[in-house]
Amino acid sequence: MVDDLRLRMLDDLLAAERNFRDLAERKVRALTGVLTELAYRLAGEKLEQMRQLDPSAPSSWKPEEWRSFFLSISLTPQGEGWGKANGSGQAAEIAALQAKIATLERELARVRERGYEVPPVERVAQVNPLLVSAGEGRLAGFTLPKIPKAWEHRWQVRAEMSKADAELHLKRRGMVLKCLAEGLSVQVEIGRYVGDATGAQYRSGAIRRVFEALEESGLIVRQTLTLQVTGNLPTRLAVARLSEEGKQFCRALGWPVVESDWERLIRLHEGEKQEGHTLAVLLFASAARLRGWTVEVLPEVHGNARPDMVITKGEQRLYVEVETGTRLHDGNAKWRMNAELNGGRVALVARNVEERGVLVADCRHAAEHGHATDVETLIAGRLVEVGEGDPLWAEEW
């Protein structure tokens, strides 16, 4: 008992350390993203020239380099351009921008100098677990069908489980399989639906053991996808799909089985080779669904465009492109075709905040209006905290 308590305390300490480290990393990235966006607004051409000389700029810049860049920019309105019509108003705006730059530089320097502090042990207890909502949502009214006798050997539980725990565990197994049969793939999203319906945290051991038991039984296949979003640590996303036996089992229960998002990406978009792109598509699809959008991955469209997905909500319909590789597209053709599909709007998902700024600058040449977000921002939003009324896009123009 003492050993178990000590292990739980160590687990809590490590989890808290990771949370504080992630928080510090996200803060640095967010501040760098704000500075980058501001730099593009004030002197986009100059920043692009500097990126050609140093591809790591400006993400690798230190506070001194940011300060030097902003000091090199003339903020005085000239000619017929920005600010001539209302000099006093624009002077106040310039002063406000300069103050904001100074504040951001100080904050960025402070965070980087402080580094990633490990929280004291006494603070560990203050880290509250993330709780999911109490509503049943997607799995409302779920009832587990009777298991056919031929499949009973795949439906065993550990002997030490009580009858009540075993029944709940098996019900959760059924819920996971039902979600997979309906085409879902992202483990954290499915875990949230199951948790909503049964009162469990999405990362609890109870949910994890459900996926492990299904994998051990041979009914599902799991994999952890990775993508280098920013920094040195890759972003990971656990995904799952039904095995062939799992599909047979679901059909035996009377559930229709559709091709999952993950399977469709593997079949039509080299999903196994382009692992990072697959992660970004699946993550955005989950984020959209949790906000009330209907998602179709790799929809069929007329013409040369090949959008990564189409999302619909009420009368809104948007074809979305996910860009995790090079931004170079011949004459912005990719974005022009996307805008044509969307009636003059671009909808894009970038890898991180900085690259989103670059892509949005490209897309403004192809479309007057658009929507954009990025994997880094979606991760910071945490899928378990998302509600249907939450905005999907980080920026619109």
According to DSSP, residue 143 is labeled: -
% of the chain at pLDDT higher than 70: 74
By CB atoms closer than 10 A (0-12, 13-18, 19+), residue 90 is: middle
**The pLDDT of residue 329:** 56
What is the amino acid identity at position 80? E
Strand, helix or coil for residue 188: helix
What is the amino acid identity at position 193? Y
Question: Token pair for residue 276?
Answer: 């990072």
For 278-329, give the DSSP string.
HHHHHHHHHHHHHTT-EEEES---SSS---SEEEEETTEEEEEEE--S----
Residue 279 Cα distances to 189, 197, 265, 290, 359, angstroms? 13, 26, 10, 17, 19
Q: Rounded to whole angstroms, how far apart are CA atoms 377 and 372?
A: 11
According to DSSP, residue 153 is labeled: G
**The pLDDT of residue 133:** 31
Question: Token pair for residue 152?
Answer: 């009973």
Strand segments, DSSP code E, in 106-257 are 220-227, 235-242
Which of the four pLDDT bands, split at 50, 70 and 90, describes residue 88?
low
Q: What is the pLDDT of residues 260-305, one digit of tens each?
A: 999 999 999 888 889 999 999 999 999 999 999 999 999 988 888 8
Q: What is the pLDDT of residues 354-397, one digit of tens each?
A: 999 999 988 888 889 999 999 999 988 777 778 888 899 999 99
Q: Rounded to whole angstroms, how far apart are CA atoms 312 and 294?
A: 5
Task: State the first-to-last Cα distance of the chain, in angstroms, to the nearest integer.
Answer: 58
pTM, rounded to two decimals: 0.66
Contact 73, 40 (CB under 8 A): no
Is the pLDDT higher at 154 or at 110?
Answer: 154
3-state helix, strand, coil in the chain (%, to 5): 55, 10, 35
Contact 336, 304 (CB under 8 A): no
Question: Token pair for residue 354?
Answer: 């900085």
**The pLDDT of residue 365:** 84
According to DSSP, residue 30 is labeled: H
Is the pLDDT higher at 78 or at 350?
Answer: 350
Phi, psi angle pair for 236, to nearest 5°: -120, 145
Q: Looking at the predicted structure, is the pLDDT value of residue 124 above 50?
A: no
Nearest to 376 by CA among 271, 280, 257, 252: 280
**The pLDDT of residue 212:** 94
Is the pLDDT higher at 101 or at 344?
Answer: 344
Is the pLDDT higher at 168 or at 95?
Answer: 168
What would you report as the CA-atom Rg of the chain, rounded to the nearest whole angstrom?
A: 24
Chain centroid offset of residue 22 CA: 15
What is the amino acid identity at position 223? Q
Q: Rounded to whole angstroms, how far apart are CA atoms 82 and 76?
A: 9
Q: Rounded to whole angstroms, how far apart are CA atoms 229 and 375?
A: 7
According to DSSP, residue 186 is labeled: B
User: Is the alpha carbon torsion for 262, 266, 268, 273 positive or negative?
Assistant: positive
Q: Rounded to whole angstroms, how far apart are CA atoms 18 and 31?
A: 20
